[in-house]
Amino acid sequence: MANFATQGLISGQPEKVYSTRPMHPLGMRVLTDDGRMFRYIRSGGVPPLVPGQVLMGPIPNGDLVSGIALAEQVEIGSLTVPLVMPGTLNAVIDDNDYLGGMLWVIASPSQGYRIDGHKGGFRNSKIVFHLPIDDPIQTTLPIGTLIGLAYNQYEWAQQCAIAPTGPVVGVAVSPIPTQLFGWMQVRGLCPVRMVGASPAGTTVHPSNTVAGAAVAAGAGAVTNSRSLGVLVDASVDAKAAPVMLMLE
């Protein structure tokens, strides 16, 4: 197991170990002494995470894509933003679903604020979103202001789909059962499951034919996807190959 260090501190959970409860904040970034970089995640979706699997972030709530209009004014310095959920909401929002995510003003001034917690709710219910004490509202938000909500991108990290519905966030380095906690890799040498045979030095992207796999750019890659990195050695179809990840 590698020793992790961040800001001079050694982390408590090795990269190939998962836990049933969070040992670190989701999204925490750590480095090893050989230059690899990892992020702390919670596994989501089906199937469970397996090593070498390309991962994407959580699927956004499509019912809220147009934003939520403020039903009451929010003043400068406020640490709470009350939002009334639309009557078209199709899924219950559970307590702290958006913890660690972002609340932002869709129109000008388009400022974003970290979400420190909230209770759950459903159609037409008011949910009060709490902000951290060091990130209060900076401008008065009048009634009718459209507010957007984004999940923490390290909550519910899951196998990248052939048509991704979330951003590519990293590569799994160990088995992590659904809803449990562990690490994914975002930078440095990492085995990645490949589609097709490609030479060393090839840039790779998420595959649009095999979920959770990578492929050479332009050869069955997801359209407009971000590059994962560069092959360090030649790849073999349906096998893992070493990739110098460059996601961060």
DSSP string, 86-138: PTT--SPBPTTTTTTSEEEESSSS--EEE--EE--B-TT-EEEEE--TTS---
Predicted pLDDT at 66: 84
Predicted pLDDT at 10: 42
- 4 pLDDT tier (thresholds 50, 70, 90): low
Instruction: Report pLDDT digits (tens) over 94-108.
Output: 999 999 999 999 988
Rounded CA separation 35/51 (Å): 19
Residue 81 has pLDDT above 60, yes or no: yes
Rounded CA separation 126/152 (Å): 21
- 62 pLDDT tier (thresholds 50, 70, 90): confident
Residue 1 has pLDDT above 80, yes or no: no
Specify the DSSP class assigned to residue 2: P
β-pair type (181-195, 37-42): antiparallel
Q: What is the arithmetic mean of pLDDT over 192-210?
A: 95
Unique residue bearing structure tokens 């690899």 = 36
Instruction: Report pLDDT digits (tens) over 140-154.
Output: 999 999 999 999 999
Instruction: Report pLDDT digits (tens) over 7-44.
Output: 434 456 788 889 999 999 999 999 988 899 999 999 99
Q: Are 209 and 238 in contact (CB under 8 A)?
A: no
Q: What does the mean pLDDT of the chain come to?
A: 91
